[in-house]
Amino acid sequence: MSNSNKSLTFTKYFIVMTFIIASLSALFTISDFFSKPISNNLLNLSNKGLYYFLAYAIQMLIILTILILAYQLVLNINIKDYFNTINYDKLLLIAILTIIYGVLNLLKKYLNITPEYRSLLDTTVDTNQLLFLLSLVILTSLSIYEESKKIKEENDLTI
């Protein structure tokens, strides 16, 4: 088994495990949040905690979507389906979702909310998972680049 196949296999299993961990973490965090008295007045539109909670929920959905897209990308690359416009679209969507995630993190910083909301709906671990996942997606993208380089060399030789 070549190094790139080992890397793709590792990436595939890592993404599955991260998806499970991120899903469970989000569910436990949200259930813990709703078990606290601070969540009682959450639906009041003047409560900035509502917006903080919505940003947290959107960020969790973004992470899960990125994980699904990354898994599909790895599967396509694993079956040597490199030059597919769907792969390009997935990489583009991952990039856009990552930018949205970062913007939400910045916006959350400007909400003057109580520290209790910040501690209950902390996204530090999720942000670190996202950064690690992005590095794996970039490494996976290198497989596409390597294959395109080989094909270009073959085409140059045939001309």
pLDDT digits (tens, 9 = 90+) for 3-50: 667 777 888 888 899 899 989 999 999 998 889 888 887 787 777 888
> Which residue is associated with the tokens 């910083």?
109
pLDDT digits (tens, 9 = 90+) for 53-84: 899 999 999 999 999 998 998 888 777 776 77
CA distance 69 to 95: 11
| Reported pTM | 0.79
